[in-house]
Every structure is written in C-alpha cells, then in structure tokens.
Copies of this chain bind each other. A is one copy, B any other.
Amino acid sequence: MKFSITRSVLLNVLNDVSHGLSSKTPMPVLTGIKIDAFLDSLTFTTSNREISVQVKLDKSSDFEIEEEGKCVVPGKYFIEIAKKIEEEKINFVLFEENTVKITTEKTDFTLVALDKDAFPVISFETIGDPIIVKSDMLKKTIKQTNFAAGVSEARVILTGVCFEINEDVLSVIATDSYRLAKKEIRLDKEYPHTKINVPNKALEELEKILSDKSEDVFIYLISNKALIIYKDIAFITRLIEGNYPDTSALFPRDQLTVLKLKKNDLVATVDRASLFTNMDSSNVIKVVIKSNKSVQIASNNNEIGKVVEEIIPLKEPEINNFQTAFSAKYFIEALKSFESSVVEIKFTGEIKPFVITGEDDESLIQLILPVRIF
C-alpha cells in the first residue's frame, strides 16, 4: 500500500471521519481510521458502533495511488501528524503488516498500525429511495431542537430526536419531559409517512459535518439504521427502537396572556436574575405579573441572596396577579434557539406548560413545564 495525498484534502477528510472515532472503547481498533487504497479511489472509515463515517475520494488530482492496500492507523496520532505537517504533499506507505511510514520532505513519521482484520465490516451501500433535505436547513433544525432531548439512560427513547414525515412536512421533536422543542420544515416533495428516532449523540456529530450551504443531504432508512449521504461523506447511525411518545396533547389550546418581548433584552435579564441560582440544580426563576401589570423576573437563594428585575413587555399583559416559576437554563436555551429578535411567551396557567414562539420563526415552538415552588 502506497499513496500520496494533498495535505489540505487529507485534513478535511480527517475532520469529517474524526466524528466517528472512539476515544474510550473495549475495541482498540475503533480508535483507528481504516484506509483503503484502490487504483482509482481512496476511502477513510471510522466507527464507534453507534456512528460510522466514511469519506471516499475519487478525484485523482487530490491523491496518487502507487500500490493498492488497506490498513488501520491510530486516529488521534494520524490527525495530529496531518495538523503539524507544514508541507503540502504527504507520502503514505505501509511496510510489512503493521508499520506505516508517513513522510514529507522534512519529516519521517513511523506509526504502529492497528490490526486491520479486527475492524468491523460496515456497508455504506444505499438501498431504496432517499429523503432529501438541504444541509443548511437540517443543520439549523438540529441546533434548534436537539438541546431539549433527554440525557437520562432511564428513558432511552427520549435521548433521541424524533423525525416524522407527513406528506411534504418534516416535524422534528425533542423532549426530556420537562421541556420540548418542535420544528417543522417543508420538503421538496411528498414522501410516504415515516417516523424515526435518531440518537442525539449522532445528531451532535452530524450537525458538525453539515455545512451552512444549501446542499442536498440524502437520507436512506435501511432496517434499524439511517445512512446519510452528504457530498463525499457517508454517515451511518443506528436508530432508537420503540414508540416515540405522542406529544401533540402537550401544546395548550387556550391562553391566559401573552408577553411579547425583545429576545436579547430578555436573555440578559434572565442571565442576571438567575445569577444566584445557577449553582443549585433547580436553577429556578420566577416571572411575576403584579397587580399593576408590571412584569418582574426574580430569583432567590437563601444562602447567597436574591435578584429582582423589571421587564417592559412590548404591549401590556392582559392579566395581573400571576406568577409562574421554571428553569432559567431551559428558558435561556429555548430563547436562544430563535432567530427572531422578538419572542412571544404564551402562559395558560401558573403550573401549566407555556410555549415560546418567535415573530419570524413560525415553524419553531419551544415548550417549558413550570415547577411548583409556592
């Protein structure tokens, strides 16, 4: 096995496949990057069992194969080498079974390779018709929803993000049962009804691979896996089995009052108001509509102190003598997901879930469940 490759091309490839690398694993070979050199293409593959990533290069200007072959190189060190090299041309040779030589004009690196036969066999072949989404839309949708997914392994089903297609609408929902994020995007055409639950850990990695450009992402559902093809990258994640809960009943139909506010001012106020509570796990702030309809955001920590700040909504609230309490962290994360500069908070009751919407983000809804503190 012998090839040469342009450093900038290799760096991009390694950046993409690094998202599938294992750091801690009982299978040492999964800390490696598998390289397959064919006469006309070069593939790089990583897998951590949950996610597998493969990049296939077939533009011959970026590399030159002198001899076919395959090997698995230690991922962390190979990436460090590529980063620290200054020259544009990198030569790669496999000596005997387990010694890799990476050389440039100035430097000779010798690396002990991992056992290539221990690397799992992973098929990246597409089957059936793909769902097509734009890269920028998918990236934004993941960021606007996936922070609300659960982290507790006690309810594995909520550690995923639910993608459901009805006709030409894709709904994406994440919830940890205390808050919920929902986003709808319109697809290029109608698709058969589909509902899958994608592990959030896989989405966190996929989001980093996707660009902000409007490029096609092809999603193939193959038994209990999703295979995502994006440019020269193939990304596989397992799907979470079981019924994702129906959350439609959570959204309140009526409302008591709406607070319309400038988003950035509100985030700064909540940030100040939660100063003394973000150390304890509850991190609870109160929103109070006083008898004179002025609105306060406040918090209290017996040992440290308390904070009270008045906020001026863009229009006067419809009700007075109302108060509700909830997690400042959840509230700030929900607020930051909106692109709008103005948000609306719709309260339906002191201990009923409330929703946040953005003036210019009609397709995004954030829902938070209050906590009982009085």
Contacts and interface: CB of A to CB of B under 8 A. Distances in A.
Contact of A275 (B84, B268, B271): B84
A275 B305 contact: no
Given A86-B268, A268-B86, A77 B275 contact: yes
Given A74-B304, A111-B304, A112-B304, A275 B309 contact: no
Contacts of A84: 268, 271-272, 275
Closest 8 CB pairs of A and B: A111-B305, A107-B309, A108-B308, A110-B305, A84-B272, A110-B306, A109-B307, A112-B305
A104 to B, nearest CB: 9
Contact of A309 (B80, B106, B273): B106
A303 interface: yes
A269 B110 CA distance: 16
Interface in A107-142: 107-112
A77 B85 CA distance: 46
A232 interface: no
Which of under 10, 10 to 19, 20 to 34, or 35 or more describes the interface residues of A?
A: 20 to 34
Nearest to A297: B107
Interface string A273-308: 101100000000000000000000000000111111
Interface in A220-272: 268-269, 271-272
Contact of A307 (B100, B107, B304, B307): B107
A268 B109 CA distance: 15
Interface in A7-32: none
A30 B128 CA distance: 67
A306 B81 CA distance: 12
A66 interface: no
A112 B236 CA distance: 54
A310 interface: yes
Given A86-B268, A268-B86, A307 B108 contact: yes
Contacts of A85: 272
A80 B305 CA distance: 13
A276 B309 contact: no
B77 A108 contact: no
Contacts of A77: 275-276, 304-305
Contacts of A109: 275, 305-307
Nearest to A312: B106
Interface string A300-329: 000111111110000000000000000000
A110 B63 CA distance: 65
A268 B86 CA distance: 9
A72 to B, nearest CB: 14
12 contacts: A77-B276, A81-B272, A86-B268, A106-B269, A106-B309, A107-B308, A107-B309, A108-B308, A109-B306, A110-B305, A111-B304, A111-B305
A7 to B, nearest CB: 13
Nearest to A73: B305
A3 to B, nearest CB: 19
A280 to B, nearest CB: 13
A112 B305 CA distance: 6
Nearest to A311: B106
A106 B271 CA distance: 14
A123 B81 CA distance: 55
A57 to B, nearest CB: 24
A96 B92 CA distance: 75
Contacts of A309: 106-108
Nearest to A306: B110
